[in-house]
């Protein structure tokens, strides 16, 4: 299982090999670690989306350790330990499950929300749960049709409304129906929205406000989907979505490509939002539990 995880991630990573591991080889290996080398390595870490804070922490560690024989393994282990310390606490285990557990999936355009809704539904399905999905993206062309196909793939009940209809009202109605049907999970797919568009963020607040009229505990989870290809802007996305709809966890997608999701580190350091899953492909099975050890292994090319 653990093996499969690393393998799947590395399927993508190994193609270009990890930039960090390459850097350890070219910048550090066999050299006396002086200030110039540390600086160069620090920049390489920043350029892996790991953020200035973490990168300078690593640089300081390298300075203080005064590694004489700079073996690549030692440097990797050192960084890996630092990564795990930051990321381990953010591994996310779903604790309580309510009779009807409602999950709201949010994020910027094209991040992978709809596919992820399908993948989450598939996870619950394999646990023999009754699942429903709500097409609350009433705006984008064929968004409803797209989710419908995912619902069919995962034997989920499908709830939808008219094009351009009010998503909040649709969610409200769908939850009532799901309650009547005795579903275990209801996953709401929302429209893509850039965090800097106030009117669209207001629309999201409204959905939550309206759902809460049914029960103050609704939605039980708000999940932010981040695209693994996006750079430093992901931090801002996480920050603002957290502020607007207090997200409970992050899912980062598209890690089957060459992007490695290094940006999770500054997000973890600044916002400490749990990370529930990572997306590693376009099929319904391509959703893996987030595991700090495996993630740092993949990032650093450790076998």
Partner 1 sequence: MFQSLTEKITGIFDKLKSKGFINEETLDSVMREIRVALLESDVSISVAKEFIEKVKIKARGKEVIKSVSPAQMVIKIVNDELTDILGSENSEINLNAKTPILILMVGLQGSGKTTSTGKLAKWIINNKNKKVLMASLDIYRPAAQEQLISLGKANDIETLEAQTKKQPLEIASIAVDKAKNEDFDILILDSAGRNQVDKEMMNEIKNISKKFKFNETLLVSDAMTGQDAVNTAKAFSEAVDLSGIILTRIDGDSRGGAALSMKHITSKPIKFLGSGEKVDDFESFHPDRIANRILGMGDVVTLVEKAAKEVDEKEAKELQEKFLKGRFTLLDYYKQLEQLTKMGGFEGILKYLPGMSGLKEKVEKSLENEDIFKKQKAIITSMTKKEKIFPDIIKASRKNRICKGSGSSIQDINKLLKQFKKMSQMMKKMGKDRNIQNMMKTGQFNNLDKMIDTNKFRN
Candidate ranges 1-9, 77-85, 142-150, 208-216; the one touching partner 1 (CB under 8 A): 142-150
Spatial neighbors of 20 by CB under 8 A, at least 6 apart, are: 44, 45, 48, 79, 299, 300, 301
Q: Is residue 125 within the footprint of partner 1 (CB under 8 A)?
A: no
Closest chain position to ligand GTP (CB): 192
Residues 39 to 78: which contact partner 1 by CB under 8 A?
39, 43-44, 46-49, 52
Kindly report the CA angle at 284 between 184 and 181, in degrees rounded to 5?
20
**For residues 237, 242, 244 and 245, what is the CA-based torsion angle, rounded to 10 degrees?**
120
How near is the Cβ of 166 to ligand GTP at its closest, in Å?
Answer: 17
Among the listed residues 25, 72, 179, 229, the single contact to partner 1 using CB under 8 A: 229
Cβ-contact 21, 301 below 8 angstroms: yes
- Which own/partner pairs from 21-26 qualify as long-range (CB within 8 Å, at least 24 positions apart)? 21/72, 21/76, 21/300, 21/301, 24/72, 24/75, 24/76, 25/72
Among the listed residues 149, 209, 212, 272, the single contact to partner 1 using CB under 8 A: 149
Among the listed residues 286, 290, 291, 292, the single contact to ligand GTP using CB under 6 A: 286
Q: Is residue 179 within the footprint of partner 1 (CB under 8 A)?
A: no
Among the listed residues 200, 206, 215, 293, the single contact to partner 1 using CB under 8 A: 200
The interface partner of residue 160, options being partner 1, Mg ion, ligand GTP, none and the CB cut-off 5 to 8 Å by kind, is: none
Cα distance between residue 96 and residue 122, in whole Å? 19
For the chain, the distance separating the N- and C-terminal CA atoms, rounded to the nearest angstrom, is 14
Among the listed residues 244, 275, 280, 299, the single contact to ligand GTP using CB under 6 A: 280
Candidate ranges 21-29, 76-84, 209-217, 248-256; the one touching ligand GTP (CB under 6 A): 248-256
Q: Is residue 279 within the footprint of ligand GTP (CB under 6 A)?
A: yes
User: Which helix (DSSP H) or strand (DSSP E) does residue 298 occupy?
Assistant: helix 292-300
Q: Is residue 9 within the footprint of partner 1 (CB under 8 A)?
A: no
140 backbone dihedrals φ, ψ, rounded to 5°: -75, 145
Nearer to Mg ion, 80 or 114 (CB): 114
Among the listed residues 48, 138, 248, 253, the single contact to ligand GTP using CB under 6 A: 253
User: Which helix (DSSP H) or strand (DSSP E) does residue 266 occupy?
Assistant: helix 264-271
Spatial neighbors of 142 by CB under 8 A, at least 6 apart, are: none
Among the listed residues 60, 126, 196, 246, the single contact to partner 1 using CB under 8 A: 196
Q: Which residues bind ligand GTP (CB under 6 A)?
A: 107, 109-115, 137, 140, 143, 192, 194, 253-254, 256-257, 279-282, 286
């Amino acid at each position: 299982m653990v093996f499969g995880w690393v393998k799947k991630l590395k399927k993508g990573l190994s193609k270009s090999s990890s930039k960090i591991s390459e850097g350890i080889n070219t910048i550090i290996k066999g050299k006396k670690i002086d200030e110039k080398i540390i600086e160069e390595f620090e920049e390489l870490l920043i350029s892996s989306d790991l953020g200035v804070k973490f990168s300078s922490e690593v640089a300081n560690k390298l300075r203080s350790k005064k590694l004489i024989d700079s073996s690549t393994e030692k440097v990797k282990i050192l960084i890996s330990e630092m990564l795990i310390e930051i990321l381990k606490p953010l591994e996310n285990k779903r604790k309580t499950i309510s009779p009807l557990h409602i999950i709201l999936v949010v994020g910027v355009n094209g991040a992978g929300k709809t596919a992820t809704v399908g993948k989450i539904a598939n996870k619950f399905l394999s646990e023999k749960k009754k699942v429903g999905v709500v097409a609350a993206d009433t705006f984008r062309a064929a968004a409803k049709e797209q989710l419908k196909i995912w619902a069919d793939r995962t034997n989920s009940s499908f709830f939808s409304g008219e094009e351009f209809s009010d998503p909040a009202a649709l969610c409200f109605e769908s939850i009532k129906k799901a309650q009547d049907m005795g579903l275990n999970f209801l996953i709401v797919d929302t429209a893509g929205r850039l965090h800097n568009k106030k009117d669209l963020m207001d629309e999201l607040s409204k959905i939550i406000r309206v759902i809460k009229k049914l029960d103050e505990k609704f939605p039980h989870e708000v999940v932010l989907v981040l695209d693994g290809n996006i750079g430093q802007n992901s931090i801002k996305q996480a920050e603002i979505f957290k502020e607007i709809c207090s997200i409970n966890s992050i899912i980062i997608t598209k890690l089957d490509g060459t992007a490695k999701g290094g940006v999770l580190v500054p997000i973890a350091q600044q916002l400490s939002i749990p990370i529930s899953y990572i997306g590693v492909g376009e099929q319904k099975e391509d959703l893996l539990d987030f595991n700090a050890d495996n993630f740092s292994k993949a990032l650093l090319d450790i076998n």
